Amino acid sequence: MYKINIFATNLCNAKSLKPVSGAPGVCDFCFRPLEKIETSENIVREIVDNLDLINICEPITITGGEPLVSKYVYPLIELLVAHNHRVSLHTNGILLPQNKSLLPLIEFISLPYDGNRPELTDYYRGAGYFQILQSAFEIAYDYNLNIGLHTLTTPYNVPSLPDMGFSLQKQKYYRNIWYWYIKKFKKINSAVFVDTSQYELEETTYRTAVANMKIHFPNIQIIESGQINKEIKTIFIALNGDVFIYTKGKTQNELVGTLTRDRLDRIISEIK
Ligand code: SF4
């Protein structure tokens, strides 16, 4: 069975926010793909048709970059739904207020949750991001979406993890929380050039912090980096048709084929 992540674009609007004083640059830890993704409606259709050829673990995740900056994200989601797929949107939420018409088509949303107060959230994501995130949670709640949370644990926010958990329990959207992915910095793709001292946690510190969170918050599905389900393989498909996999230890996702030249079932049959 295959978990599908679609890179709608590698562009992102995150840097429209200004860094806060004393913080590293906005989203400098980001490990989105480096390659520009050029596509067309025909290629989008070809990708969705190809998904019918394999056994998929739903929902399919639309990610980026920031998917909502791509004009192809609407036709992509409409086609996926027409092909009976369930859709999860991984977004920073900045453009969510302008894109509410898309939300009845999706059941799942995932948002960055790097802190429960502005001095944490804005530190890595830019001034004003805390307010943007609160609006995104409100919108997700109003549309009754299942909410996935992605936390990049760093030396700066790791002491606040328990507080972040308690804060979640007080929110009206608490019952909508689908999972909480507490992840470790990964030096891959666009993040290979980054000063890791800002972001990297020592392995034991990281594992212990997550283990404690699992004990204290048993009602939240907490996922950690490297937690692999061997029954499900993750495939990344860029919206230009390129197909990638991630192999532990590599500094870039590995290109394994392209859907403008071959079929997805044939490409993934070659993957070891
Ligand atoms: S981490 Fe997310 S929001 Fe930040 S630059 Fe990367 S894709 Fe954009």
Residues 88-128 pLDDT 10s:
999 999 999 999 999 999 999 999 999 999 999 999 999 99
**Whether the Cβ atoms of residue 60 and residue 88 lie closer than 8 Å to each other:** yes
Ligand 1 centroid–CA 53 distance in Å is 31
pLDDT tens per residue across span 47-97: 999 999 999 999 999 999 999 999 999 999 999 999 999 999 999 999 999
Range of the structural domain that residue 24 is part of? 2-269
Residue 263 is predicted with a pLDDT of: 97
Residue 28 is predicted with a pLDDT of: 87
pLDDT category of residue 32 using cuts at 50, 70 and 90: confident
Q: Is the CB of 12 under 6 A from ligand 1?
A: yes
On the question of pLDDT at 155 being above 90, the answer is: yes
**Residue 179 sits in a domain of what CATH number?**
3.20.20.70
Residue 270 is predicted with a pLDDT of: 85
Which tokens belong to 241?
Answer: 């048709």
**Whether the Cβ atoms of residue 7 and residue 238 lie closer than 8 Å to each other:** yes
Ligand 1 centroid–CA 199 distance in Å is 15
Quick one: three-class SS letters along the chain? CEEEEEECCCCCCHHHCCCCCCCCCCCCCCCCCCCCCCCCHHHHHHHHHHHCCCCECCCEEEECCCHHHCCCHHHHHHHHHHCCCCEEEECCCCCCHHHHHHHHHCCEEEEECCCCCHHHHHHHHCCCHHHHHHHHHHHHHHCCCEEEEEEEECCCCHHHHHHHHHHHHCCHHHHHEEEEEEEECCCCHHHHHCCHHHCCCCHHHHHHHHHHHHHHCCCCCEEECCCCCCCCEEEEEECCCEEEECCCCCCCCEEEEECCCCCHHHHHHCCC
pTM equals 0.94
- Mean pLDDT, the chain, whole residue set: 94
On the question of pLDDT at 33 being above 80, the answer is: no
Distance CA 216, CA 192 (A): 34
Ligand 1: atom nearest CA of 125 is 4
Distances, alpha carbon 126 to alpha carbons 15, 70, 93, 200, 237, in Å: 8, 22, 13, 19, 29
| Residue of 106, 70, 103 lying closest to 86 (CA atoms) | 106
Which tokens belong to 35?
Answer: 């390659």
Q: Is the CB of 184 under 6 A from ligand 1?
A: no
Ligand 1 centroid–CA 27 distance in Å is 6
pLDDT tens per residue across span 205-242: 999 999 999 999 999 999 999 887 778 999 999 999 99
**Whether the Cβ atoms of residue 116 and residue 134 lie closer than 8 Å to each other:** no
pLDDT category of residue 186 using cuts at 50, 70 and 90: confident
More confidently predicted of 162 and 32: 162
On the question of pLDDT at 132 being above 90, the answer is: yes
Ligand 1: atom nearest CA of 92 is 3
Q: Is the CB of 32 under 6 A from ligand 1?
A: yes
pLDDT tens per residue across span 237-267: 999 999 999 877 777 788 999 999 999 999 9
Number of domains observed in the structure of the chain = 1
Residue 205 is predicted with a pLDDT of: 96
On the question of pLDDT at 20 being above 80, the answer is: yes
Residue 124 is predicted with a pLDDT of: 92
Q: Is the CB of 67 under 6 A from ligand 1?
A: no
- Regarding beta strands 60-63 and 87-90, do their DSSP bridges make them parallel or antiparallel, or are they unpaired? parallel
Residue 75 is predicted with a pLDDT of: 97
Contacts 24+ apart (CB under 8 A), 252-260: 252/34, 252/188, 252/189, 252/192, 253/33, 253/188, 253/189, 259/43, 259/46, 259/47, 259/50, 260/43, 260/46
